[in-house]
């Protein structure tokens, strides 16, 4: 009987360890600005930032280190009622850690036609990929 319980416990523990290693997404938001993030090759860095596209502002990736590859286009989700103008939302960006390396990921929040203006906001993290 003790062997059966020990075997069941070992299986349960192994399952927990395997499942805990399955989430390769590292999720960041505005609170991570100025921080350093450690990734392994193959991990996905998911970055969600506040945005309001109805005002013409959007996030732009202006510096992406060689160890990251952008995965698709950023997704925008409005947080207001459907059709509501001026409602804030969120942009979600995804980057895959492609190889070992390090560098700075820098995004700027700006209107695309205001090229001579400073960005309204910036987001920057140092990335280290093992």
pLDDT by residue for the chain (130 residues), tens digit each?
454 443 333 333 333 333 344 457 999 999 999 999 999 999 999 999 999 988 999 999 999 999 999 999 999 998 877 767 778 899 999 999 999 999 999 999 999 999 999 999 999 999 999 9
Output the CA–CA distances (angstroms, integers) from residue 130 to 2, 8, 27, 124, in the order listed: 42, 35, 18, 20
- Strand-pairing partners, residue 43, are none
CB 59 within 8 A of CB 91: yes
The fold for domain 24-129 equals Immunoglobulin-like (2.60.40)
pLDDT at 13: 36
Residue 10 phi/psi, 5-degree rounding, is -65, -40
pLDDT at 19: 37
Q: Which two tokens stand for residue 113?
A: 């036609």
Residue 63 phi/psi, 5-degree rounding, is -145, 115
pTM of the complete model: 0.78
Where in the chain are the domains? Answer: 24-129
């Amino acid at each position: 009987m003790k062997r059966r319980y020990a075997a069941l416990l070992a299986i349960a523990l192994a399952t927990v360890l395997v499942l805990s290693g399955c989430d390769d997404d590292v999720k960041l938001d505005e609170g991570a600005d100025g921080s350093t993030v450690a990734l392994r090759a193959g991990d996905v860095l998911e970055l969600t930032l506040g945005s309001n596209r109805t005002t013409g502002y959007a996030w732009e990736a202006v510096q992406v280190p060689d160890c990251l590859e952008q995965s698709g286009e950023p997704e925008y989700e409005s947080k207001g009622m459907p059709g509501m103008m001026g409602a804030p939302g969120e942009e979600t960006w995804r980057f895959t850690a492609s190889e070992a390396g390090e560098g700075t990921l820098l995004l700027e929040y700006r209107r695309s036609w205001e090229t001579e203006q400073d960005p309204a906001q910036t987001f920057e993290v140092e990335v280290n990929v093992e």
